[in-house]
A and B are shown apart, each in its own frame.
Chain A
């Protein structure tokens, strides 16, 4: 019995290993995000740094009745075809998630649907097979949903992605998605200020409030020295944080403009 049972167990294990390899994004053009392992089988004291998701970030920044939707400032949908490395795809899943969340806040159902579909495709390209459910896409396509309902769908979709990546020990991918989303949401917000803190004081206040979420991001990136994928992103975050400190010290028009310019420069480097 033992002799017959073992090949079965072995084949079953082999099948699981094979499936998990197929789902880990190794078929993308480069696999610079492969090989991450976090051993969660023997946890005694765990720390989770729960940085803001792009969709929550968009709500915190853009939930403001004085704002409007401007299609020209979001990352064009046609750009997704040119992202052909895992890093670029991960960053721009975050970018597009922030964009679609911004669109959903201003009842742009078609853009929300199109961008969710793009995020679904990009996620599958890097092996995230359980992100946006078809029933959610159908709900957006076939119904006139209110903002609140849209937010719930978008957040649940992001949570699926987050859970999938955590369960597959792909922490680096989720970190890149979160950074891409953070920068894009800030980019939309600073674009709507026209580089002046006076344009919409409530929006300026929301932009400044995000210093605390950047502090958490810094904490999450504390141990990435030597990581060639995350180090450049950490440098971007450090530069932005320095300007936050400058604004805290002296909230002048010139300093705010410098902050806006840096956000734009960083964001534009992510979407190329």
Chain B
């Protein structure tokens, strides 16, 4: 096997290991930082896993159902090496119901006034031009009060 092929295989293996390790960190992020901000003494975390590895400059939209009369907390957190994340909650017509750029908070508490599907848009700010973009997990944790 020539050196070039060896390099390709080794690089692919390292990429695989790095990705697997990044994914494993996402569930930890949800259960530590995510649950802390959610305050599980007040809110029951919903069961879906809404976390994934992203890089600076990336964004993700999460589509979710919210039910009339329920009190929810939406928490958006990132890994330690990630910058502070911005998130917006909009309806499907992209009308903004919440914007963390204004409140500067990691979470939003609200009572859903109707049965509705909403979009939680998370944006990882771009890295400075002279810096290599960081990558790490981001997690959206939703809980409801009981």
Contacts and interface: CB of A to CB of B under 8 A. Distances in A.
Interface of A: 6, 9-10, 12-13, 16, 40-41, 43-56, 59-60, 63, 147-148, 151-152, 154-156, 158-160, 162-163, 166-167, 209, 211-213, 215-216, 219
A216 B63 contact: yes
Identify whether the interface residues of A are mostly helix, strand, loop, or mixed: helix
B46 interface: yes
B134 interface: no
A219 B17 CA distance: 32
Interface of B: 6, 9-10, 13, 15-17, 19-20, 23-24, 26-27, 30-31, 40, 44-55, 57-65, 67-68, 70, 115-117, 142, 144, 146
A131 to B, nearest CB: 12
Contacts of B116: 212
Given A47-B60, A167-B24, A16 B46 contact: no
B27 A163 contact: yes
Contacts of A45: 58-61
A155 B45 contact: yes
B63 A13 contact: no
A150 B55 CA distance: 36
Contacts of B15: 41
Contact of A166 (B49, B63, B68, B144): B49
A162 B117 CA distance: 21
B59 A212 contact: no
Contacts of B16: 13, 16
Contacts of B60: 43, 45-48
6 contacts: A16-B17, A48-B52, A52-B48, A148-B146, A159-B30, A163-B26
A154 B59 contact: no
Given A6-B6, A216-B117, A48 B13 contact: no
